[in-house]
Amino acid sequence: MSGGGPALSFGLLAPFGGILLSSILIVVVGARRTKSVADYFVAGNRVTAVQNALALTGDFVGVGGLFAITGLIGVFGADGYVLAIGAICGFPLMLFLFAEPLRRLGQYTFGDVITSTLGNEQVRVLAATTQLILVLVQLTAQLVGAMSLLRLLFGLSDATSLILIGLTVIAYVLIGGMVATTWLQIVKASLMIIVAIFVAALALARFGFSPLSLLQHAVSSRGTAAIVPGRLFVSPFDTLSILLGLALGNASMPHVLMRLNTVTNPVAARRSVFMGIGLIVVFHLVVLILGFAAMVIVGGPAIRHADPGGNMALPLLTRALGGDVLLGSISAIALATILAVVTGLVMAGSAALTQDLWVSAFRRGAAPREQLLVGRIATVVLVAIALGLTLLCRGQNIGFLSALGYSIAASANFPALLLVLYWRRRTTLGVIAGMATGLVSSLALIVLSPLVQVGILHRAAAIFPLQNPAVISIPLALAAGVVVSLATARHPVHSRP
């Protein structure tokens, strides 16, 4: 897997062709169903709860979930699953706190929710800016992943990979809109879950279909270190910070929240998130099996040899179990996953630019035709910026870039949503202070953390000792929101009934 990519075979290329053809079909069908602004941004609010559950699962479970966690378990043992627990908590938090209220309040974007509750349009610009930063960071992380995958599989140069991916994403979003984006996620999530279960079953077949036997073999090959804590997470504050960042960040990512508006009503939003939780729980339990199977069948050293971050554990396992056809299938699904997540992110960014900035700040009362045109121009601009950032971030760790996005979402979006939806005494200035504090503090602490100071700038020590800022930046944002709200409580902006 290392080097310029494996020799191309029919078994490797056929699944890619299948995925590409089916996605083109989805985009063409999506284009026929996209006629209005609501069709373009929120699929006309016609998505059913089951469809949305699959689409949410697709947004939620990216390559980070499948490849990275399998690799972490394969290399570090059970400790790798700690990240999965943080990620799994995000969906229930969204169900408990946001699913129904957001569907009731929101129209297209995160900014809609904030402004419809506060009745103040000024806060929308800050909301849109935060969402754009989040979308660009997450887009960059996903594109770096796609670039690495194409380089590993086909030996394509970074520039060629980016041009191909950029053109594909622009075509998908421009032509198909949210309808196509949703169906891409539905198909991809279904395929990913089916293939992951199939690979896990193939792996378990080698151990008499007994997970316990698999664990015993893991202990035989790697010692008890495979099933005890302490290999990956040592500092309690760091562990808590990572878990909180993942949980609260996953619950408040703009492209995931936007999906809540695609269903018919608030109850369908709640049901879809609940069904999504079931799918995500099953998926992560399968990933636990895949991780230990990779440890036993492939081996930690071989995984690290292919990729020091362990990200290629699953492709190596699938090749060991099913040859090129299975490797091609899992890689094609991984690429489809990245494309689907990227299209969802571009939709969220395009909606923020169009609805929160253009329609609200510059051209109030813009005609639907103009909104669609601006949305499509915004798509091209966003993808172009993200491609430029991806070239700058070549060689950076995908996990680091993703964690950056989750930390920002957990620090800026989560406290703002909590204040807006659940605290009667919050004021517009309080919400603005909370969002701004969360955004600035999370960005500043990430820059001062060992990830940047030691990992990227190669300094001896970092000013801020934790890898993840969430444990500091989330309380800081909440405190700023509460204090400023109380300080400005004499002049509250009245909420809409």
Partner 1 sequence: MARPGSKPLAGAPGPAADISASFWSASILLAFVFGFVGLLSFARQLLAVQIVSGLSIYVSVMVGLTLAIWTLSWIYMRRLRRLEQDGRGRGDA
> Which residues lie near partner 1 (CB under 8 A)?
78, 81-82, 84-86, 88-89, 91-93, 95-97, 100-101, 103-105, 117-118, 212-213, 215-219, 224, 227-230, 233, 236, 239-240, 243-244, 247, 265-267, 270-271, 274, 277-278, 281, 284-285, 288, 420-424, 426, 495-496
- Nearest distance in Å: CB 288, partner 1: 7
As a whole number of angstroms, the distance between CA 338 and CA 333 comes to 9
- Nearest distance in Å: CB 139, partner 1: 28
- Nearest distance in Å: CB 220, partner 1: 9
Look up residue 21 and give its amino acid: L
CA torsion sign for 182, 188, 191, 194 is negative
Rank residues 30 and 90 by Cβ distance to partner 1 and give the closer one: 90
Give buried/exposed letters for 427-448 (b at 16+ CB in 10 A, else e).
bbbbbbbbbbbbbbbbbebbbb
CA torsion sign for 342, 348, 353, 354 is positive
- Nearest distance in Å: CB 218, partner 1: 7
Rank residues 9 and 210 by Cβ distance to partner 1 and give the closer one: 210
Rank residues 244 and 333 by Cβ distance to partner 1 and give the closer one: 244
| 5 φψ region: left (φ > 0), alpha (ψ -120 to 50), beta (else) | left
Rank residues 157 and 495 by Cβ distance to partner 1 and give the closer one: 495
Q: Decide: 399 and 309 in contact? Cβ < 8 Å.
A: yes
- Nearest distance in Å: CB 266, partner 1: 5
Rank residues 85 and 367 by Cβ distance to partner 1 and give the closer one: 85
Rank residues 219 and 385 by Cβ distance to partner 1 and give the closer one: 219
Rank residues 3 and 497 by Cβ distance to partner 1 and give the closer one: 497
Residue 368, Cβ neighbours under 10 Å: how many?
12
Rank residues 92 and 450 by Cβ distance to partner 1 and give the closer one: 92
Residue 395 makes CB contacts below 8 A (sequence gap 6+) with none
